[in-house]
Structure 1
Amino acid sequence: MSTLYIDRKNTRMTVSGNTLIFYENGERASTLPLHIIDRICIKGDLALSAADLGKLGEHNIGVLILSGREQQPTIYLPCARKDALRRLAQAHFSQDNTFCTRQAQSWITEKIQREQDLLRELQTRPHRGGHQLHENLEQLEKSRLRLQNPINDLATLRGIEGSAASSTFAAIACVLPESLHFTKRNRNPPRDPYNVGLSLGYTLLHYAMVRQIHLTGLDPCIGYYHSIEHGRESLACDLIEAMRPLVTAWTIEAFHDRILRPEDFTIQNEACHMGKAARARYYPAFENALKNWQGEMRARCVALLRALGKACFNHPQTRACAEAFLEKEE
């Protein structure tokens, strides 16, 4: 089974028997057998009748419709055959401390290793920090070494991750131009241009991960490192944790390459705002970066599916859910 992605204009899709039929500009263009499709992701100007949507449901084909610049999921119809079982297992193991800490520890370890790689690269650039970057790297290495042994509570992991992030941003402050007025990570609202770029990038990555999670049949709101909180897709927060340094580094380069410029920003009531011209340059450039990261986002979802499937087989209370994880995700 696989996911079908549709992003075309002037296209109509119908279901006839066991076949999906596409029409472009009124002419029949192509067909596809339904039995090879698990889910359909739609983000173009596609015409689809309610009757055909119902037929897809009868064939247990999940449908995800995306909308807006951030391509947020606006309509989600699950793949009834297995999504309920996957989400049941997902919820069960969100209450299993061993499973939660094991997953979280692997994500935080990867994140810190990427932060180390970033700081090593920054050391090769002109900076104002003297030995600051070297000391920050030493702090990151201490954090990484703590993670070599199993850690059994999430609070400790959060402390390690927070300390590593502080060291990373302290080093970045030594490298960024003083005209950006960056001293540390801040948000809600961001108070300097670099933090504005970071917050927007993290948000766009987050919603891209939400889409991937929907396409694997999991619930984006049930996480393992980030607890359930009203209005938050906690699993998406989990799965982008190790990818955040990619956005951190990309945002540095965005200022270096003048995709973003100090003059693009204004301060009002202690909040920093990105101007329209900057947004026009930012969105296409970040979209290109997201395309490069798409494979990793998908791989992280699939890795979690495999971990849940393995855990189901090994736990008597969830063994009945294991069948939902047997089919290979493509």
Structure 2
Amino acid sequence: MGILYVTEQGAFLTKAGERIVVRKGDKVLRWVKGNEVSQVIIFGNVGLTTQATAFLLRRGIDVVFLSAGGDYRGRLVTDLGKNVALRKKQFERFSDRDFGLALAREFVRGKVENCLALLRNHNRHHQDEEVASAAHRLRRNLLKVEGASSIEELMGVEGDSARVYFSGFGRCLRGEGFTFTKRTRRPPRDEVNAMLSFGYTLLSSVVSGAVAVTGLDPYFGSFHSEEYGRQSLVLDLMEEFRPVVVDAVVLRVVNRKIVTASDFVRNPESEWLSADDEAEGDGLGPDDFPVLMSYAGRKKFIQAFEARLREKLLYIRYGKRLRLRDIIQEQARLLARAVVGEEEYRSYRMG
């Protein structure tokens, strides 16, 4: 089953029989059968009729609400999984220092190894010395991951690895009009950061859906600490897939000129601007405003994102190629089995 993205502002979702219908005024923009959709992602000013809401809940279809720019707002979900015994075991195992640290170490190891793989794959063709240097430092950091004796130490290694990785990642971008020097999140200060932030939001929705299927509690993780309203386990599982899915998509759409600099806008009225920023608004220049993807840019990025999830990659556990979306689900299931002691968790590594 797939994901239905609704980006048309002013549209609304209703139902007709067993179909989900997207309308704008009297015009039908799209319709899909309910049994063909596992998740609906809504951007900005899009409405839901009462009938559509009831239908989605009855079908157990997850609905994610994002701002028009792709910032997470909330979700409409059915009851949390009924497997109370699994969640009790999750709380018990994740509260055990040794188990929690070993699991967190595996999440970080997977992320660093996949960042390294992405840089190496790029450098096979371009032989960039700065990319090679970043890859070398990431290899050294893998040893530090193994030796980390606390979550705090592991977070330090992960943070340093991210800085090193993105210094090399910027050298992999070859599209005209794109520059990238460092990761900036809230707000994204350039076009590449805007795509990364948007992509990670989409990825979190996919991973959240995979975790929900297993019955694990998405709010209790091992690497990311508990914060009210934060899905820490989803963030944990996302780590190994950030370079595999989102970063790979960003490189693809930039280097193949699928997305261009004209697909972005600077927004002087963004919610990301603080009160202090607004108070000093007359002193802000264009480069100080957050960069957002346009409607056309988001549409092209979503298409590339979905195409990546449909790609088949080698899944070593089964010794065969699976769709990337299915690999994410299998990793969530493996995590549930690790919680109950049936298997040891091993992060996904791309070749």
| Counterpart position of 2:201 | 203
| Counterpart position of 2:313 | none
Pairs aligned (count): 270
The alpha carbon displacement at 1:126 in A equals 4.3
| Counterpart position of 2:25 | none
Asked if 2 retains the 8 angstrom alpha-carbon contact of 1:266 and 1:273, the reply is: yes
Deviation by residue 1:195-235 (Cα, 9 ceiling, x = unmatched): 11111111101111111111111111111100111221111
> Do structure 1's residue 111 and structure 2's residue 107 form an aligned pair?
no
Question: Within 2, Cα distance between the matches of 1:283 and 1:309?
Answer: 36
The alpha carbon displacement at 1:68 in A equals 5.1
The alpha carbon displacement at 1:154 in A equals 0.6
Question: Within 1, Cα distance between the matches of 2:81 and 2:205?
Answer: 21
TM-score (norm 2): 0.67
Asked if 1 retains the 8 angstrom alpha-carbon contact of 2:40 and 2:63, the reply is: yes
Question: Within 1, Cα distance between the matches of 2:242 and 2:125?
Answer: 21
What letter corresponds to residue 307 of structure 2 in structure 1?
Answer: N
Aligned pairs (5 A) from 1:166-245: 166-177=163-174, 179-245=177-243
Question: Within 2, Cα distance between the matches of 1:5 and 1:288?
Answer: 11
Q: 1:255/1:91 Cα in 2 relative to 1: closer, same or farther (>3 Å)? A: same
Question: Within 2, Cα distance between the matches of 1:5 and 1:173?
Answer: 32
The alpha carbon displacement at 1:179 in A equals 2.4
Question: Within 2, Cα distance between the matches of 1:201 and 1:159?
Answer: 24
| Counterpart position of 2:79 | 77
| Counterpart position of 1:164 | 161
Deviation by residue 1:69-108 (Cα, 9 ceiling, x = unmatched): 779751222443xx21111121222322111111111111
| Counterpart position of 1:264 | 263
| Counterpart position of 2:275 | none
The alpha carbon displacement at 1:192 in A equals 0.7
Asked if 2 retains the 8 angstrom alpha-carbon contact of 1:64 and 1:73, the reply is: no
Deviation by residue 1:141-186 (Cα, 9 ceiling, x = unmatched): 101122344x331111111111111111101222324721210111
Question: Within 1, Cα distance between the matches of 2:158 and 2:202?
Answer: 22
Asked if 2 retains the 8 angstrom alpha-carbon contact of 1:73 and 1:211, the reply is: no
Asked if 2 retains the 8 angstrom alpha-carbon contact of 1:213 and 1:220, the reply is: yes
Question: Within 1, Cα distance between the matches of 2:300 and 2:111?
Answer: 28
The alpha carbon displacement at 1:284 in A equals 2.3
| Counterpart position of 2:141 | 143
Question: Within 2, Cα distance between the matches of 1:49 and 1:190?
Answer: 33
What letter corresponds to residue 64 of structure 1 in structure 2?
Answer: G
Aligned pairs (5 A) from 1:117-132: 117-126=117-126, 131-132=129-130
Asked if 2 retains the 8 angstrom alpha-carbon contact of 1:5 and 1:42, the reply is: yes
Question: Within 1, Cα distance between the matches of 2:103 and 2:296?
Answer: 41
Asked if 2 retains the 8 angstrom alpha-carbon contact of 1:259 and 1:278, the reply is: no
Question: Within 2, Cα distance between the matches of 1:10 and 1:266?
Answer: 37
CA-atom RMSD in angstroms = 3.5
Q: 1:227/1:176 Cα in 2 relative to 1: closer, same or farther (>3 Å)? A: same
| Counterpart position of 1:93 | 93
Question: Within 1, Cα distance between the matches of 2:181 and 2:2?
Answer: 42
Q: 1:112/1:201 Cα in 2 relative to 1: closer, same or farther (>3 Å)? A: same
> Do structure 1's residue 155 and structure 2's residue 152 form an aligned pair?
yes
| Counterpart position of 1:59 | none
| Counterpart position of 1:22 | none
Q: 1:103/1:11 Cα in 2 relative to 1: closer, same or farther (>3 Å)? A: farther
The alpha carbon displacement at 1:42 in A equals 7.2
| Counterpart position of 1:299 | 330
Identity, % of aligned positions? 28
Question: Within 1, Cα distance between the matches of 2:38 and 2:88?
Answer: 23
Any idea what SS the aligned residue of 1:76 has?
Answer: coil
Gapped regions of structure 1 (runs ≥ 5): 14-29, 31-39, 57-62, 313-330
The alpha carbon displacement at 1:187 in A equals 0.9
Gapped regions of structure 2 (runs ≥ 5): 5-14, 20-34, 42-48, 67-71, 268-287, 311-322, 344-351
Asked if 2 retains the 8 angstrom alpha-carbon contact of 1:111 and 1:244, the reply is: yes
Q: 1:6/1:122 Cα in 2 relative to 1: closer, same or farther (>3 Å)? A: closer
Q: 1:204/1:193 Cα in 2 relative to 1: closer, same or farther (>3 Å)? A: same
